[in-house]
Chain A
Amino acid sequence: MSAIVKVGDIHKSFGSNHVLKGVSFEVNKGEMIAVIGASGSGKSTALRCIDRLETIDQGQIEVCGIRVDDPKVDLHLLRREVGIVFQSYNLFPHLTVEENIMLALRHVKKMSSDEARRIAMNVLEQVGLAQKADAYPEQLSGGQQQRVAIARSLAMSPKVMLFDEVTSALDPQLTGEVLRVMEDLAADGMTMLLVTHEMAFAKRVADRIIYMHQGKVWEVGDGSMLDAPRTPELRAFLDNGL
């Protein structure tokens, strides 16, 4: 089994705050891994380190054979392979939905306008928003904006996609449409790593679930782990519905 993402014993501190205390895991091709845990457990930080939005103090990270922790790493290469979707969508407000998706296609992959538009419409159809191509982000609901953000990442044909609590900022009735898109992506064979609070979704769709607690990987298992937690910390976490 080929591992797309290999995280080896990473440590990270913010000032005197030791956030990651030796985290290790692997994501294999085609797998969907869900990372759960309380706020402050370091799960978002670990995710951001994988796409080098943060640098680690110790340890190694390897993505598609690229050593992310190497100070001389080619970030452009890394980010062509990794797609990331943020909690606050981060769409470009001055561009339409279509232009948002076409931007990187035209300027990074040097595609022509027509080619880029074709791909953009393609991914928009995949997320069910083809009819909103000419709308501006502020005209869309949160769930729609997040789906556009997923489409924007997807259009670059990444080898792995990272999702950083992408439904946490949404109203409950809007999370469903986003989760559906993510489930479809998983079914299509995309390698996905998500930090999430959606337990039911994780249990149903994820191949593996990683529970993080105070900067360490505390428990790893499949969906059944959530019904029968081995450690008291995970039990407390699930009971509190954090």
Chain B
Amino acid sequence: MSGGFTSSHLVYLVQSIGWTLVLSLLAFVLGGIGGFCVMLARISPRAWLSRAAIVYIEAIQGIPLLILLFIVYFGLSVYGYQVPALVAAGLALMVYSSAYLGDIWRGCIEAMPKPQWEASECLSLTRWQTLRLVIIPQAMRLALPPTVGFLVQLIKMTSLASVIGFVELTRAGQIINNSIFQPFLIFGLVGAFYFVLCYPLSRWSQSMENKLNVSNR
């Protein structure tokens, strides 16, 4: 059967964008919480905690997301659970995000000038108070551009969920292509949709970074 590309195909594609967004948001929020914990562990004065965080970050950052996805997917089904692809993909992306966000945020915290730590601790504030009241509020400004930049990464990464059968935008494209085989058109369209999702965020991240660089002069 090889028809043309119909409007119902288009609707199918557009609907799948919703799932792309759901997966992205899920991974970003949960990964963000995880990333915050990873960041705290990483900057902890307790050596074992910091080392554990380093190992975690290095390990997750050192393996392809696709492999991580397979490990989570097969790992979960090994316990007898037939997990829906959304759960497996969400979990894998959450772990992935927690490592990257934790590392990004750790970099932002460490970029805060040491005198701010000194001034705060010399006022007898505890380490946690210093982090909460002085360091993190200032670091957030610095952290926003790379965090938004990572969100763009994440949205693109959700395309890999197609490999375990989750029907998001890329999988929808594959399904349509398998029936009418017009790859240029279909994947071109799919690419365009991703572009529409990602480009505004990329620009936002870039303009924030430019503003930061100007004010840091």
Contacts and interface: CB of A to CB of B under 8 A. Distances in A.
Contact of A79 (B124, B129, B134, B137): B124
A90 interface: yes
Interface in B116-135: 116, 118-126, 129, 133-134
- Which range contains the number of B residues in contact with the other chain? 10 to 19
Contact of B133 (A76, A79, A80, A103): A103
Question: Which residue, of A76, A82, A84, A90, has the highest number of chain B Cβ atoms within 10 A?
Answer: A90
A162 B191 CA distance: 62
B163 to A, nearest CB: 44
B119 A92 contact: yes
B131 to A, nearest CB: 12
Interface string A98-117: 00000110011000000000
A79 B121 contact: yes
Interface string A23-65: 0000000000000000000000000000101000000000000
A12 interface: no
A152 interface: yes
B138 A93 contact: yes
B118 A108 contact: no
Contacts of B4: none
Interface of B: 115-116, 118-126, 129, 133-134, 137-138
A104 B116 contact: no
Nearest to B124: A79
Contact of B129 (A80, A92, A107): A107
Interface residues of A, number: 23
Nearest to A93: B138
A73 interface: no
A156 interface: yes
Nearest to B132: A107
Contacts of B133: 103, 107
Nearest to B113: A90
Contacts of A108: 123-125, 129
A122 interface: no
B122 A53 contact: yes
A90 B125 CA distance: 15
A152 B123 contact: yes
A91 B125 CA distance: 14
A103 B123 contact: yes
Contacts of B120: 92
